[in-house]
Homo-oligomer: A and B are copies of this chain.
Amino acid sequence: MCPIYKFPQINLYMSNFCCNFAAKLDNRRKKKPDNRINEEYNIQNILNLITMQKSPLQIARQAYQPKMPVALNGNVRLVEGAATQSVADQEEIKKLFPNTYGLPLITMEPAPGEAKSEAINVGVILSGGQAPGGHNVISGLFDGLKRLNPNSKLYGFLGGPSGLIEGKYQELTAEIIDEYRNTGGFDIIGSGRTKLEETWQFDNGIEICNKLGIKAIVIIGGDDSNTNACVLAEYYLQKQCGIQVIGCPKTIDGDLKNEMIETSFGFDTACKTYAELIGNIQRDANSAKKYWHFIRLMGRSASHIALECALQSQPNICLISEEVEAKNMTLNDIVEQIVEVIVDRSNAGLNFGTVLIPEGLIEFIPAMRVLIQELNDLLAQNEEFATLEGDDAKREYVKSMLTPASCALYRSLPKGIARQLTLERDPHGNVMVSLIETEKLLIEMVSKRLAQLKAEGKYKGKFSALNHFFGYEGRCAIPSNFDADYCYSIGVNASHLIAAGKTGYMSLVRNLTKPAAEWLAGGVPITMMMNMEKRNGKMKPVIQKALVELDGAPFKYFKEHRAVWADSKTSYIYPGPIQYYGPTEVCDQPTITLKLERGAM
């Protein structure tokens, strides 16, 4: 029997995983999965970093004391609100999470006396992709716990969730913490992409927590990791093993936000870093006056990063995947839209400009999504295809198997992209969408279309294009003051939730468009943010992923202004690099997205 059936309440959530990977499970349990990540993680690095050479800014930032909500400065009182319910599918979610459903919202209020608790040992996990500020969540958590009781201990599980499963950990002492205050990266304990989804993993967690006397686990991650944090909290409550679980909202993509969570941490710093580069490139474009720059930006699912960067830098064109999908646009529609701006600007004597492209664009083009799905279905574990020799034979095979519509689209794609779609596939045989150089695809198609127009006498300009992709440049940037303050507050706040015995909560810091002192801290039940969604064909309880809302204030602002930005007038803004010192309007601003969403501009 598949071991997860021992935990019937989360069957639904687990069943697809079970179906797909059941065969591997026993084997994985013996081997303990993701040893690779842990083998790669070298504890020696922690010691090395402590003796590392530092840049002047690294040294200066170590001394920065993050700003915090007033409520977190001293002793706190947890004020509980009314019972909550999930954003949708209340019955199903309640059934799956009988112990963590319906918990009240919590608000931290200042209280007299000194903040104190029993000594508590806590474990912390970094889950998934890096986001600036992760180290500050950990240092805030550390400081919070130590202030509550100097005998409390903080353990870091190494290399992500697998550290919990495999019992790999490091006690985080003051000496180590001090080296990582206000720094970027997740290197303090490493991160990993192992999903906490199976009961044997949860049981392994109990074992190591009991060994270390750990009473609470803090999981710093995105929407999926926080969903899993809640599953874990629920399981531990059911098992009555006395281990609390608290989540923290991380992701540069900005798609973990909702009525309660105003923004995920890291989004601010990453966008500001990309916007710096976009601004610099725009100044270059406006000086050289001869290049169109096509800039792809990380952010797999949602287009929040592209949109925020557009708001900060005002490029000539910014594509928004959610709009492309809503309008059921084809690749050719997108090309026409870009070409129109290029021709207009060229008529005004301006043969240069910038185009921002969200990483996930291609999957939001309905016809492309169908093609990619067909290719995935067709080529995964296709042994006949695997034996074919030569690119041409493979192309012909693919063409012969696609539906007519997808075949036509496939034929229309530039060769290099068609090759990426069919030849470069992940271990499961799926197209690796994030590796597709959409910016080059668009340059090639735009260039071809402009040549046509030129031949027809409808375009007289000169089109030279350069391509860029920004992603890794921003994920580990030194956190902005905003992210440093926000993350530190999230960490300190988590220590109070733990001291009060809470579980199944996400550490919540709100009112973020105000000065940090006015921020509000508390806790939100993770179940409150959940609904049921189809994942790999099965309904599962998940935290709703926040895509760009086409009737939301940020997109509306963009939509109202983009014609002017596209226009012959140069509307570029040059944000420049993140500043940590200087006037508050320069160094303490949240994102424009957040300000627009909160009506603060």
Contact = CB atoms under 8 A, between A and B. Distances in A.
A280 interface: yes
Nearest to A575: B55
A293 interface: yes
A570 B49 contact: yes
Contact of A583 (B56, B314, B478): B56
A185 B580 contact: no
Contacts of A130: 283-284, 287-288
Contacts of A552: none
A61 interface: yes
Contacts of A474: 280
Contact of A280 (B41, B184, B187): B184
B580 A579 contact: yes
Contacts of A61: 576
Interface string A49-90: 100111111101100000000000000000000000000000
A348 B40 CA distance: 9
A71 to B, nearest CB: 28
Contacts of A290: 40
A569 interface: yes
B185 A476 contact: no
A95 to B, nearest CB: 38
A574 B58 contact: yes
A573 interface: yes
A60 B577 CA distance: 13
Given A185-B286, A286-B45, A286-B185, A281 B569 contact: no
A206 interface: no
Given A48-B569, A191-B287, A351-B40, A55 B472 contact: no
B581 A579 contact: yes
Interface stretch (A6-14, A271-279, A324-332): A271-279
Nearest to A134: B287
Nearest to A276: B577
A349 B578 contact: no
Given A58-B574, A573-B58, A581-B579, A287 B53 contact: no
A475 to B, nearest CB: 5
A186 interface: yes
A290 B284 CA distance: 33
A512 to B, nearest CB: 17
Contacts of A314: 53
Given A39-B349, A41-B289, A581-B582, A55 B283 contact: no
B280 A472 contact: yes
A522 interface: no
User: Chain A contact residues: over half helix, strand or loop, or mixed?
Assistant: loop
Given A40-B289, A40-B290, A191-B288, A57 B575 contact: yes
A577 B577 contact: yes
A549 interface: no
A473 interface: yes
A127 B50 CA distance: 47
Interface centre among A61, A468, A477 (most CB of B within 10 A): A477
B577 A478 contact: yes
A266 interface: no
Contact of A187 (B57, B287, B348): B287
Nearest to A290: B40
A587 B581 CA distance: 10
A580 B582 contact: yes
Contacts of A466: 472
Given A57-B579, A582-B582, A349 B42 contact: yes
Given A184-B280, A287-B187, A55 B574 contact: yes
A54 B582 contact: no
Interface string A325-367: 0000000000000000000000011111000000000000000
A91 interface: no
Nearest to A581: B582
Nearest to A47: B569
B287 A477 contact: no
A460 to B, nearest CB: 11
A572 interface: yes
A199 interface: no
Contact of A287 (B44, B186, B291): B186
Contacts of A37: 289
Contacts of A277: 277, 473
A523 interface: no
A569 B49 CA distance: 9
A45 to B, nearest CB: 6
A585 B37 CA distance: 38
Interface in A580-598: 580-583, 585-587, 589
A183 interface: yes
A571 interface: yes
Contacts of A569: 44, 48
* A-B residue pairs, 6 tightest by C-beta: A581-B582, A577-B577, A283-B476, A185-B283, A57-B576, A186-B287
Given A60-B585, A130-B283, 17 more contacts: A39-B349, A41-B289, A53-B314, A57-B577, A60-B583, A60-B586, A130-B287, A183-B283, A183-B574, A184-B280, A186-B287, A187-B283, A283-B476, A468-B472, A577-B577, A579-B579, A581-B581
13 contacts: A42-B350, A44-B569, A54-B573, A55-B576, A56-B585, A58-B573, A61-B576, A185-B287, A190-B287, A280-B472, A280-B474, A466-B472, A581-B587
